[in-house]
């Protein structure tokens, strides 16, 4: 049976197979919601036989936790579901700008107690194997963070009821809301589960025209005493290396004793070989001397090239990587994820409990105003010309500072969003 919502045809029942036996065990152990505990140990309030709530957020990354945090004090009962236990690793170079700290109302002095918070006051940029340009600032322009710490911090303070180590295995329409995993009855569902978010698949996003997909690989590890002594990467100056074809870039970011090395490329099927070449370049250039084999992890996300993806329907919103909002020039997803979570929360507050699509449509408008309307590459120069032009510009100090770093990576031209409390 199908339920038609505006331009979508959404299956009334959406189920994916249980691929992790641990998830099945967790669901069974948390079935009794009356005063029970989630697998994380968070106390669950009595929510009735099905676990009813006003808003169920699927995904506990920066998008989901920011949305939940922005809904705190609204009087709405918010639950958050995530398949992982926290802390958990996340493929990311790992830095936030001062604007993000303002948007999240972070007390940086309190945050850095027991956590990594590395101030950045400059960047080195260039092509892999080519000359680099050093850009310095007289103030802190970004902070290096470890995603395992940052994401858990945001999650634990968000104020939602947490159901961790539980996958979203089914979504079923009932009345004006949704039944999730046959035990949560939610008036509104927010998909914040990243590139492979099941809520996004429910909306048929895999069949919609979208921006290009970036594949990334990354490793982050604590350096040994010998590796620290040999490391030539300055803690306050991350290094960015663009690929010669300008289809992506690599990075080497030091955060105290931790080193993060990674690469991301559009639609790349041979990413492992590019990662290997980049690591060899770092060793040959004397920037690092790492002999231990560290685990490399992969990730995928969509670049935002205008509002191609449907992000709102009856009682459903998509935020963060689920909506495909990564910045097109840098691939950064943390700030767009957080901002989309704040905008989704403001839309939910304004809906006043009536989550029909027409009352959630303002969210799409907010995204377009913030991130821009649809763009096209039709008027861009041919690939060969673009590469020649790009290589020349990346050696220009003015272009590097004011365009590459200030606009593409730091987005200093955009003012921070303010959390809505009404």
289-343 residue pLDDT tens? 887 777 888 888 888 876 557 899 999 999 999 888 888 888 889 999 999 999 9
Residue-level pLDDT at 62: 97
- 104-145+212-302 fold: D-Amino Acid Oxidase; Chain A, domain 2 (3.30.9)
Residue-level pLDDT at 406: 96
**What is the Cα–Cα distance from 351 to 345, expressed in whole angstroms?**
10
Q: Is 113 exposed, middle or buried (0-12, 13-18, 19+ CB in 10 A)?
A: exposed
Residues 42-56, mean pLDDT to the nearest whole number: 61
Tell if the pTM clears 0.75, that is, is over it.
yes
Higher pLDDT pick, 364 / 22: 364
Confidence band for 392, pLDDT divided at 50, 70 and 90: confident
Residues 366-384, mean pLDDT to the nearest whole number: 64
Residue-level pLDDT at 401: 96
Of 5-9, 50-54, 142-146, 171-175, the one with minimum mean pLDDT is 5-9
Q: Is 386 exposed, middle or buried (0-12, 13-18, 19+ CB in 10 A)?
A: middle
pLDDT at 256 over 80: yes
Residue-level pLDDT at 195: 86
One-letter-per-residue 3-state SS of the chain: CEEEECCEEEECEEECCCCCHHHHHHHHHCCCCCCCECCCCCECCCCCCCCEEEEEEECCCHHHHHHHHHHCCCCCCEEEEECCCCCCCCCCCCEECHHHHHHCCCCHHHHCCCCCCEEECEEEEEECCCCEEEEECCCCCEEECCHHHHHHHHHHCCCCEEEECCCCCEEEEECCEEEECCCEEEEEEEECCCCCCHHHHHCCHHHCCCCCEEEEEEEEEECCHHHHHHCCCCCCCCEEEECCCCCEEEEEEEECCEEEEEEEEECCCCHHHHHHHHHHHHHHCCCCCCCCCCCCEEEEEEECCCCCCCCEECCEEECHHHHCCECCCCCCCHHHHHHHHHHHHHHHHHHCCCCCHHHHCHHHHHHHHHHCCCCCCCCCCCHHHHHHHHHHHCCCHHHHHHHHHHHHHCCCCCCCCCCCCC
Residues 187-216, mean pLDDT to the nearest whole number: 81
For 2-88+150-210+304-371, CATH number?
Answer: 3.50.50.60
Domain parsing of the chain, residue ranges = 2-88+150-210+304-371, 104-145+212-302
């Amino acid at each position: 049976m199908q339920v038609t919502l505006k331009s979508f045809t959404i299956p009334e029942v959406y189920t994916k197979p249980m691929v992790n036996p641990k998830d099945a065990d967790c669901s069974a152990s948390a079935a009794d919601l009356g005063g029970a505990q989630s697998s994380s140990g968070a106390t669950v309030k009595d929510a009735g036989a099905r676990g009813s709530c006003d808003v169920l957020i699927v995904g506990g990354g920066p998008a989901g936790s920011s949305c939940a945090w922005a809904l705190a004090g609204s009087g709405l009962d918010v639950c958050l579901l995530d398949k992982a236990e926290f802390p958990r690793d996340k493929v990311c170079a790992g830095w936030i700008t001062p604007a993000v700290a303002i948007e999240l109302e972070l007390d940086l002095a309190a945050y850095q107690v027991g956590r990594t918070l590395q101030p950045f006051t400059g960047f080195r940029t260039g092509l892999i194997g080519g000359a680099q340009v050093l850009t310095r600032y007289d103030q802190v322009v970004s902070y290096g963070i470890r995603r395992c710490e940052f994401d858990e911090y945001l999650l634990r303070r968000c104020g939602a009821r947490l159901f961790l180590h539980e996958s979203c295995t089914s979504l079923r329409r009932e009345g004006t809301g949704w039944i999730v995993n046959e035990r949560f009855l939610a008036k509104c569902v927010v998909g914040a589960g990243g590139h492979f978010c099941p809520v996004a698949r429910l909306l048929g996003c895999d069949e919609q025209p979208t921006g290009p997909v970036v594949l990334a690989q990354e490793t982050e590890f604590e350096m040994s005493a010998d590796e620290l002594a040999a490391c030539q990467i300055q803690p306050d100056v991350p290094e960015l290396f663009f690929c010669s074809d300008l289809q992506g870039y690599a990075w080497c970011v030091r955060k105290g004793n931790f080193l993060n090395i990674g690469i991301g490329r559009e639609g790349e099927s041979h990413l492992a070989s590019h990662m290997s070449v980049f690591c060899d370049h770092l060793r040959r250039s004397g920037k690092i001397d790492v002999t231990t084999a560290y685990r490399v992890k992969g990730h995928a996300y969509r670049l935002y090239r205008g509002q191609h993806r449907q992000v709102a329907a009856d009682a459903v919103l998509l935020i963060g990587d689920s909506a495909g909002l990564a910045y097109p020039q840098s691939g950064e997803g943390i700030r767009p994820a957080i901002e989309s979570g704040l905008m989704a929360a403001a839309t939910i507050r304004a809906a006043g409990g009536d989550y029909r699509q027409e009352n959630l449509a303002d969210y799409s408008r907010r995204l377009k105003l913030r991130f821009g309307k649809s763009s096209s590459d039709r008027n861009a120069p041919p690939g060969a010309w673009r590469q020649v032009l790009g290589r020349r510009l990346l050696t220009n100090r003015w272009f590097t500072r004011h365009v590459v770093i200030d606009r593409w990576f730091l987005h200093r031209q955009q003012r921070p969003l303010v959390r809505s409390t009404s």
